């Protein structure tokens, strides 16, 4: 366990500087989103109220009050989330491939460490999860700051202060910040399985090179097909024979099999087939 934790710390430190940059960029883009949307709304209100001689009550009735929903649907806010997602997705691949970069491949040293090679696999996955949940925590923290900024910039009569659950429920944020613990385990459980599948697919490529690309893609497609199998059978073969709860239990079992299969294959490739 101690060696595993050291590997996690090592992987975390290797990405930490870029991670700090990612955090700073996210904060700046979302603060810009708050400022731009708040100023735009107040400018619109000023133009309508003073230009068309409309009362504040009529303006709010015709143009709606300002809420955080307007901010989270803005381009600046959306692209801050998309930027983080893309960088972390790229890092899922880079966390492995950088160990092979350069003349003296660092993978030699990692594979020769006096610990099970599977610990390296788990350490990289754990580092990815720490980065993901760190950004989720950052987003929750930013919401409190952004809400306060909105209160400073938008007078009370022009805004409606909604609870966070209301403005994240019906858009892309409902996946990042699920409204229930049940949804949290579903979304992030599937995400964790996807990371392990990509890790194993990468190891196929590292072990077999050109053939490994075909093996890796095929493995990913087979895993995805296996995940969809209960749904497809229930829809097209048995014509909605199973109850939703039964279908959910089958999907959970399938996901566990896929996860264990990815770990077992990854461990086998690391122990017996890896090429450096």
pLDDT per position as a tens digit, 78-117: 999 999 999 999 999 988 888 887 555 677 788 787 888 8
- 37: confidence class by pLDDT, cuts 50, 70, 90: very high
- 58: confidence class by pLDDT, cuts 50, 70, 90: confident
Sign of the Cα torsion 104, 106, 107, 108 reads positive
Percent of the chain scoring above 70 in pLDDT: 97
Q: pTM (2 decimals)?
A: 0.88
Residues 254 and 226: beta-carbon distance below 8 Å: yes
Q: Which residue has the higher pLDDT, 1 or 72?
A: 72
- Comparing CA positions, the residue from 252, 46, 72, 73 lying closest to residue 154 is 46
137 pLDDT higher than 90: yes
Say how many C-beta atoms besides its own lie within 10 A of residue 74's C-beta.
Answer: 19
Mean pLDDT confidence for 174-187: 86
Hey, is 176 helix, strand or coil? helix
- 276: confidence class by pLDDT, cuts 50, 70, 90: low
Average pLDDT score, the chain: 88
Q: What is the pLDDT of residue 180?
A: 82
Q: What is the pLDDT of residue 148?
A: 92
Residues 171 and 233: beta-carbon distance below 8 Å: no
- Comparing CA positions, the residue from 68, 83, 70 lying closest to residue 142 is 68
Question: DSSP string spanning 110-150?
Answer: HHTSSS-HHHHHHHHHHHHHHHHHHHHHHHHHHHHHHHHHH
Output DSSP code: residue 170.
T
Distance CA(195)–CA(201), nearest Å, equals 10
Distance CA(215)–CA(205), nearest Å, equals 7
Q: What is the pLDDT of residue 170?
A: 65
119 pLDDT higher than 60: yes
Q: Residue 200: is it exposed, middle or buried by C-beta count within 10 angstroms (0-12/13-18/19+)?
A: buried
Residues 193 and 123: beta-carbon distance below 8 Å: no
Mean pLDDT confidence for 252-265: 95
């Amino acid at each position: 366990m101690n060696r595993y934790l050291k590997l996690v710390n090592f992987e975390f430190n290797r990405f930490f500087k870029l991670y700090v940059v990612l955090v700073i960029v996210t904060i700046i883009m979302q603060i810009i989103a708050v400022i731009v949307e708040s100023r735009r709304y107040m400018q619109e209100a000023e133009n309508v109220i003073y230009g068309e001689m409309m009362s504040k009550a009529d303006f709010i009735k015709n143009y709606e009050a300002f809420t955080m929903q307007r901010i989270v649907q803005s381009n600046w806010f959306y692209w801050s989330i998309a930027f983080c997602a893309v960088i972390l997705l790229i890092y899922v691949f880079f966390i492995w491939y950088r160990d092979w970069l350069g003349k003296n491949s660092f993978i030699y040293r990692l594979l020769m460490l006096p610990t099970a090679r599977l610990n390296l696999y788990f350490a990289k996955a754990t580092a990815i999860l720490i980065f993901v949940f760190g950004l989720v925590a950052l987003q929750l923290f930013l919401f409190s700051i952004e809400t306060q900024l909105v209160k400073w910039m938008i007078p009370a009569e022009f805004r409606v202060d909604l609870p966070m659950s209301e403005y994240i429920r019906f858009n892309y944020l409902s996946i990042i910040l699920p409204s229930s613990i049940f949804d949290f385990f579903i979304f992030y459980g599937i995400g964790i399985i996807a990371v392990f599948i990509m890790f194993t697919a990468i190891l196929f490529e590292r072990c077999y090179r050109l053939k490994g690309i075909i093996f890796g893609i095929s493995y990913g497609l087979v895993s995805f097909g296996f995940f969809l199998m209960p749904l497809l059978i229930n829809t097209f073969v048995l014509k909605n024979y199973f109850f939703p709860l039964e279908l959910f239990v089958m999907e959970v079992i399938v996901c566990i099999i896929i996860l264990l299969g990815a770990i077992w294959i990854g461990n086998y490739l690391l122990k017996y087939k890896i090429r450096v």
